[in-house]
Every structure is written in structure tokens, then in C-alpha cells.
């Protein structure tokens, strides 16, 4: 019986995927596992590298290359449907299991409590552009109270880096069909919200993974259209969940305030005058940063000064 499925989604990860795979193969485990990979139409050699490892470990790897690009959420669901494991570890094709006991530690926690929807754990952040490593980047979140942790998830301030799921509870509580019909591309936020509102969770107070931050990744793209699109997708999801789960007013107010300030930042960073003016007028409690981002959206010279700070 397969205890764990490592759900590996890849897209143009040729510079990272081999290191990711080796970090899985080097794990010390006492249970059976599988690697279920779906490549979302990479234009580089990512899938060829996956095929090489499939040939080396034919019983371990289950790989496909999508006929057409699905996007993150649809690809996650399609890959999940191919998984046979009791537990699902979500791993991106550019991240690494930095501790050789990472998966054993996480699965041990899930096995002790069948009511756990997921287990979260720590990770280091690698800012690739500057070769800067931030050890245990989510330590404060992992160590905060359960109420604060839950609130941070509802506000979209955490992700599925180092998260392992109970597959049965994923299918029971996460409304994939609705989010796909909404044309949502984000996977981590809707999954975590549905699970945290319906199941228990546990956190591992150890840094077990390495999270790469680089311009080629979907969530850190230096492209206004992508960042603006993702921000509005998150807003649509938040509005949906605030009604579905009857969020408290303070959470709704906090999210809406942060969302506007985030959009203003994008307007300033990408010098979008019209959007900057529109959003700035909607912010009721303005900080010095808000004024700076607004001025940056209206003036290229100020934008250049801000980039030097």
C-alpha cells in the first residue's frame, strides 16, 4: 500500500528539477511512496529530465505531460486524481526537501491523528537573484497561536510550501469543481481555507524545506498583468469565502485594506498612472508608503528613486 504520494507539478523547471528529484530520492523513509508528476507544457527540457528518472525508477515515478496547458489549480486536481497515496505532499518543481527526514517527520504526524486535514512545516527562503538565504522564513507563522495561524490563512498570508494533506479530507472538503468553474488558477489558498475551516491541523516546528524565490516562478513574476491578475483572483476567492464561511468583519476589513495597498504598490512599481490614482483615492487610511507608491505611479523619476531605496 502506498502511504504517500508526492504531487510534483512542473513548468519550465529544467534548472531546478533534478535537484528537486534528488532531494526526494535521498529521503529516509519507512513507508512506500510514489512520485506523481504532471508537466504543464514546459518549453524546456523539464519533461525529458523527468523521463530519465522514470526510466531509472519505473515503479516509483508516474509522469505525464499535459496535452494543453491547464494552469496550476487544474493541474493540481488532475495530478491529485492520479495519486494512490493516503497522504499528499505538494511539491513544486523548483523547491527542495532540505532535511532527509522531512517526509518521515510529516507523515508520522498525520498517522497519529486521522482528523488532521494537513500538516504544515518550516522552510528556508532562497532569494536566488541575490543568493540570499533566510533561514526558517515562516518561523513566526509556525509558532504563533492556532487562532492567529488560522486568521493568516484566511487572509492569504501563507502558502503550501512544506504542506502535506490527508487525501480523503481533500476530496471531502475542498470544492475543486467550483473553483475551476470560477477560472481560478491559484491552488494553495482555496485548499487551505476549505481545510482549515473544516478539519484540524498541525505544525512542525522545524525548517525542512528550501523555497526558491526567483523571477521565473508564477507568483513572483516581474509582470504587471500577472501580478494584477493574481491579486484580483485572490480578492474574488476571499469575497467568496467571506460569504461561505461568514468571516468576521475585522478579517474582511483587514483583507480589503491590504488588497488596496497591494494594488497601489503594483501601480507604483509598474508606473500605472490611472490605476495608481484610482486606488489611492479608495484608501481611507493612508500611510507614508501609500503616498510614495502613489507618487511613483505618477512620476518615473520618483519611481527610479524608490527603486534605489
Along the 309 residues of the chain, how does pLDDT read in single tens digits? Answer: 999 999 999 999 999 999 999 999 999 999 999 999 999 999 999 999 999 999 999 999 999 999 999 999 999 999 999 999 999 999 999 999 999 999 999 999 999 999 999 999 999 999 988 789 999 999 999 999 999 999 999 999 988 899 999 999 999 999 999 999 999 999 999 999 999 999 999 999 999 999 998 766 555 557 899 999 999 999 999 999 999 999 999 999 999 999 999 999 999 999 899 999 999 999 999 999 999 999 999 987 777 666 645
pTM for the structure as a whole: 0.93
What are the CA-CA distances from residue 206 to residues 96, 136, 210, 234 (Å)?
15, 8, 12, 28
**In the chain, which ranges are E strands?**
4-10, 33-39, 61-65, 87-92, 96-97, 116-127, 132-134, 164-166, 200-213
Q: Which has the closest alpha carbon to 59: 78, 83, 34, 22?
A: 34
User: Which three cell numbers mark 286?
Assistant: 493612508
CB 39 within 8 A of CB 11: yes
- Phi, psi for 92 (deg, rounded to 5): -85, 155
The DSSP code for 35 is E
pLDDT the model gives residue 301:
74
**Domains contained in the chain, CATH given:** 4-216 (3.90.550.10), 221-308 (no CATH)
User: Which three cell numbers mark 35?
Assistant: 512520485
Q: Distance between CA 21 and CA 96 in Å, rounded?
A: 8
pLDDT the model gives residue 299:
86
User: Which three cell numbers mark 165?
Assistant: 494533506
Amino acid at each position: 500500500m502506498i502511504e504517500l504520494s508526492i504531487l510534483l507539478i512542473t513548468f519550465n523547471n529544467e534548472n531546478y528539477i533534478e535537484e528537486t528529484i534528488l532531494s526526494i530520492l535521498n529521503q529516509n523513509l519507512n513507508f512506500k511512496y510514489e512520485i506523481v508528476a504532471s508537466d504543464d507544457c514546459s518549453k524546456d527540457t523539464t519533461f525529458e529530465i523527468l523521463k530519465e528518472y522514470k526510466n531509472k525508477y519505473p515503479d516509483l515515478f508516474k509522469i505525464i505531460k499535459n496535452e494543453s496547458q491547464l494552469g496550476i489549480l487544474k493541474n493540481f486536481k488532475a495530478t491529485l486524481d492520479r495519486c494512490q497515496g493516503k497522504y499528499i505532499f505538494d511539491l513544486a518543481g523548483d523547491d527542495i526537501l532540505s532535511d532527509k527526514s522531512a517526509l518521515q517527520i510529516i507523515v508520522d504526524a498525520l498517522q497519529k491523528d486521522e482528523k488532521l486535514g494537513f500538516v504544515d512545516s518550516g522552510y528556508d527562503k532562497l532569494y536566488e537573484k541575490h543568493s540570499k538565504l533566510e533561514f526558517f522564513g515562516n518561523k513566526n507563522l509556525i509558532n504563533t497561536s492556532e487562532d492567529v495561524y488560522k486568521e493568516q490563512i484566511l487572509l492569504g498570508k501563507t502558502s503550501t510550501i512544506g504542506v502535506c494533506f490527508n487525501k480523503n479530507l481533500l476530496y471531502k472538503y475542498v470544492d475543486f469543481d467550483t473553483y475551476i468553474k470560477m477560472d481560478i488558477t491559484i491552488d494553495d489558498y482555496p485548499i487551505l481555507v476549505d481545510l482549515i475551516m473544516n478539519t484540524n491541523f498541525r505544525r512542525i516546528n522545524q525548517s525542512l524545506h528550501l523555497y526558491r524565490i526567483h523571477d521565473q516562478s508564477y507568483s513572483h513574476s516581474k509582470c504587471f498583468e500577472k501580478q494584477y491578475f493574481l491579486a484580483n483572483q485572490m480578492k474574488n476567492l476571499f469575497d467568496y469565502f467571506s460569504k461561505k464561511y461568514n468571516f468576521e468583519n475585522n478579517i474582511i476589513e483587514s483583507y480589503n485594506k491590504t488588497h488596496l495597498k497591494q494594488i497601489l504598490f503594483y501601480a507604483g512599481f509598474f508606473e500605472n498612472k490611472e490605476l495608481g490614482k484610482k486606488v489611492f483615492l479608495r484608501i481611507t487610511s493612508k500611510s507614508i508608503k501609500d503616498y510614495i507608491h502613489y507618487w511613483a505611479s505618477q512620476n518615473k523619476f520618483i519611481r527610479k528613486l524608490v527603486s534605489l531605496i
